[in-house]
Chain A
């Protein structure tokens, strides 16, 4: 037994050391060849230049545009879907955000929406989140962003509705059938690694731009968590319970409705939370394809570098995220706790709910009938105040902190980013490709190497190789920074329960924010540069990496640490020789997640001057002749994502398997 356990432990470090030497060798060879071949075969492409592929995409787009109403596939399939979704969105918009039925205002005025928000939050959650919801919604009005907020809400609600309508049954099916689960899992994995951005471009091809295709993109992005979590919930019902139900003679349907579904309820509600948060993130980004709402305000403000307006609207997104998150979390707690409160209390609650419902209905009627309850009063002066405060903070920061912020920016840009970027973009493409394949093979095995090779080949094919390398440079630099912060904070949290208790809630809150609200404050500090995108990406990706590393450190058995302490190790030795090596699996997983999060943010950074692939995608939406190039850039992002994911996943498998021995 002892020899079996020891053998891999001895082999592990040796192999790791050898791997490190090989990687160093590859990098040295790269540098040498770079010095010789610099500037040759770099596949650079100017901003306005197109390749044949891009022109072909343009032609496809044009011909689809021309045949949209004659091609049967469109006539009977895509257009039908679009029509249904469009009707749904328009209906909800007419309820809460857009003028409807010949009236200058929506069917339900602001007071009615606030009342419904409060009532629903109370009925599914508790009175505390009800107050939070009402305060949050009123705040949108005070910000002067009532209509924008309601547009965002309308799109989110439509997308979530359809996503759940499809996602929960699919999830139940995947939970019941191993075969369905096996088929769905790789798709869901793939969809989850894709940055939000990527869904937009191809969808516009089939569904045009506008609210309908934004909703479709959103529901495609938001359905996977619902499917995954529902399936997981069904699968985690203990086997004995199902067996016991079978042994009593339940039919399949009875087992489903009386055992599996009730026992999964709480987890499924958590899935609904994830779906809503994903949908909100996507709806804001879908502003790029002309989705109405807060995202649009932010995007327009970002593009004109109007930090104040962007901040005000970004704040509204944050508030909406907090409200939706808290309410659905409270709902999932209630799903568990409802049955616990005594039956007398439950009866009271039932009466109160009816009374509350009546009050809400009256308020809705008032808001339908009277102008004061329909249109939010005032000019949104709070919003202007917030915007101008943000502006003056920005000016102050630029005046007083610019020495400091510029120093940091220049240090990282010139010391790390520029050299690395020029190494990537000025090397011949085949050299970089060979390096990527070799590194992939060394870290993740031959399969990862082959995947990297295929991705490199396709990246060259997209015609945006050079932009891809620029994005790659930013992504790698940001990921290195994320890992540095992640390890420092993660180790601290992993070792100190106190630190964990203090920091974790902040990280949880940060994780529910839609990605691009992170851009706003850093735009104020660092201006429109690649560096802004990198910092935003670091901040966006840090929470998830910190949590994974903290959990990894915590999972190191207490006794091992105790043994090392007894042997006389100091704290530094325990961290570097025991805890970090033993959480190698967690570190690799954190790198994987870090890369994926960073990639999606670096791409969004295209909005604030990060250029490269993100810019190509954004430009593709706004300028017809660049459409094909934008689509190709979206494809390139997918390829980068797949390559990162495959290599790091394979590496994670290799590092975790031997340590289990």
Chain B
């Protein structure tokens, strides 16, 4: 059991706490590019068209179509899809860097589409911030001045903002590079600056738009672990965009899969793998090592009359890979039990079919 795995399961428990109101709540969100874009979401006829037909008929591209979801406090919510599926547009609509065409984006009970420019700036300065794929750093400012930029524009004094910036620089592991310029740093370090800049204002929600796609695989893994660590330390709500399923599974409490602007499925990693909504999702998850993602509740079968019920007891959310040893070692099938209630049983057969099929 690696430390990472524990963290993941811990976080999962936290987010399943359903009575807390969502931080971000999106309802019927549309973004259409092109002339007369605002007509599209209201028109029964145009709404239904495919991307190609819509372009031919109305000259519009619907980048986000009728998307709804909730993000709970402290959750890492991942949006995944192939390139061009509308992820970047979606995340920019949430902060109105791109103006949505229709729908609601409710942030802590306030529809941000109703915010005037002043209120919107205020929200951006204090409530949410974003990390970009291509960093977007200011080349003429040192690392510490990049990090304190957001504090500077909200009018914080120089001494105070530098102090705060240095704290955050240390938090992201960049101590010693405070006075470097961005182009003296490697890509991974530049993105740490991006991360520090986003954290400096102490926002409630962090948005990430494919922050690690431009990095080398090894550095990408480091940065993913860094995000997990930071999430653990500062406990922010995160909305994370990626086109990489393994990244999504590694980071996300829940994952929203998009295709051509529409949401295809939204659920935890094991839900996507265990019950893909359609062939598109099935295709997506086909390469995933299932044993690492599926939990026992997905593979258990109801206990039959001839099954011995004195095997070991395991919880329904235990990942198959972790249960393997216990189940195979026991003579009898394992019982899947939640709150003292028997949900089903898992035998060698079930475990082996997952391990064999998913490897």
Q: Do residues A247 and B135 form an inter-chain contact, with CB atoms below 8 A?
A: no
Q: Do residues B153 and A254 form an inter-chain contact, with CB atoms below 8 A?
A: yes
Q: Do residues A240 and B150 form an inter-chain contact, with CB atoms below 8 A?
A: no
Q: Mark B257-290, 1 if CB is under 8 A from A, else 0.
A: 0000000000000000000000000000000000
A-B contact count (CB 8 A): 69
Contacts of A340 in B (CB 8 A): 181
Return the chain B residue nearest A259 by Cβ: B138
Contacts of B97 in A (CB 8 A): 243, 246-247
Which residue numbers of B lie inside 8 Å of A, CB to CB? 95, 97, 120-126, 129-130, 132-140, 149-150, 152-154, 181, 194, 197, 201
Q: Do residues B130 and A249 form an inter-chain contact, with CB atoms below 8 A?
A: no
How distant is the Cα of A327 from the Cα of B135 in the complex, in angstroms? 35
Given known pairs A240-B133, A339-B181, the reply for A248 and B138 (CB within 8 Å) is no
30 CB < 8 A contacts A-B? A240-B133, A240-B134, A240-B136, A241-B137, A241-B138, A243-B132, A244-B137, A244-B194, A244-B197, A245-B149, A247-B97, A248-B149, A248-B197, A249-B121, A249-B123, A249-B124, A249-B125, A249-B150, A249-B154, A250-B153, A251-B153, A254-B153, A258-B138, A258-B153, A262-B140, A263-B138, A263-B139, A339-B140, A339-B181, A340-B181
* 4 closest residue pairs by CB, A with B: A244-B136, A249-B124, A249-B125, A240-B136
Contacts of A240 in B (CB 8 A): 132-136
Which residue numbers of A lie inside 8 Å of B, CB to CB? 238, 240-251, 254, 258-259, 262-263, 265, 339-340
Smallest CB separation, A255 vs chain B (Å) = 9
Point out which of A243, A249, A258, A339 has the most chain B C-beta atoms below 10 A from its C-beta: A249
Contacts of A250 in B (CB 8 A): 121, 153
How distant is the Cα of A248 from the Cα of B122 in the complex, in angstroms? 9
Point out which of A238, A244, A258, A259 has the most chain B C-beta atoms below 10 A from its C-beta: A244
Contacts of A251 in B (CB 8 A): 121, 153
Contacts of B121 in A (CB 8 A): 249-251
Return the chain A residue nearest B125 by Cβ: A249
Smallest CB separation, B123 vs chain A (Å) = 8
Contacts of B123 in A (CB 8 A): 249
Return the chain B residue nearest A343 by Cβ: B179
Q: Do residues B140 and A263 form an inter-chain contact, with CB atoms below 8 A?
A: yes
Contacts of A245 in B (CB 8 A): 136, 138, 149
Q: Do residues B153 and A241 form an inter-chain contact, with CB atoms below 8 A?
A: no
Return the chain A residue nearest B126 by Cβ: A249
Q: Do residues A262 and B138 form an inter-chain contact, with CB atoms below 8 A?
A: yes
Contacts of A265 in B (CB 8 A): 140
Return the chain B residue nearest A261 by Cβ: B140
Smallest CB separation, A258 vs chain B (Å) = 7
How distant is the Cα of A248 from the Cα of B125 in the complex, in angstroms? 5
Q: Do residues B149 and A258 form an inter-chain contact, with CB atoms below 8 A?
A: yes
Return the chain B residue nearest A250 by Cβ: B153
How distant is the Cα of A246 from the Cα of B130 in the complex, in angstroms? 10
Smallest CB separation, B280 vs chain A (Å) = 26
Contacts of B132 in A (CB 8 A): 240, 243-244, 247
Q: Do residues A248 and B137 form an inter-chain contact, with CB atoms below 8 A?
A: no
Contacts of B134 in A (CB 8 A): 238, 240
How distant is the Cα of A250 from the Cα of B140 in the complex, in angstroms? 17
Q: Which of A241, A249, A339 contacts B136 (CB 8 A)?
A: A241
Contacts of A244 in B (CB 8 A): 130, 132, 135-137, 194, 197
Point out which of B97, B129, B149 has the most chain A C-beta atoms below 10 A from its C-beta: B149
Return the chain A residue nearest B135 by Cβ: A240
Contacts of A246 in B (CB 8 A): 97, 124
Contacts of A262 in B (CB 8 A): 138, 140
Q: Do residues B140 and A248 form an inter-chain contact, with CB atoms below 8 A?
A: no
Contacts of B201 in A (CB 8 A): 248
Smallest CB separation, A261 vs chain B (Å) = 10
Contacts of A243 in B (CB 8 A): 97, 132, 136
Given known pairs A238-B134, A241-B137, A263-B138, the reply for A247 and B129 (CB within 8 Å) is yes
Smallest CB separation, B139 vs chain A (Å) = 7
Contacts of A249 in B (CB 8 A): 120-126, 150, 153-154
How distant is the Cα of A240 from the Cα of B214 in the complex, in angstroms? 14
How distant is the Cα of A249 from the Cα of B152 in the complex, in angstroms? 11
How distant is the Cα of A241 from the Cα of B133 in the complex, in angstroms? 11
Contacts of B153 in A (CB 8 A): 248-251, 254, 258
Q: Which of B95, B122, B136, B194 contacts A238 (CB 8 A)?
A: B136
How distant is the Cα of A499 from the Cα of B134 in the complex, in angstroms? 38
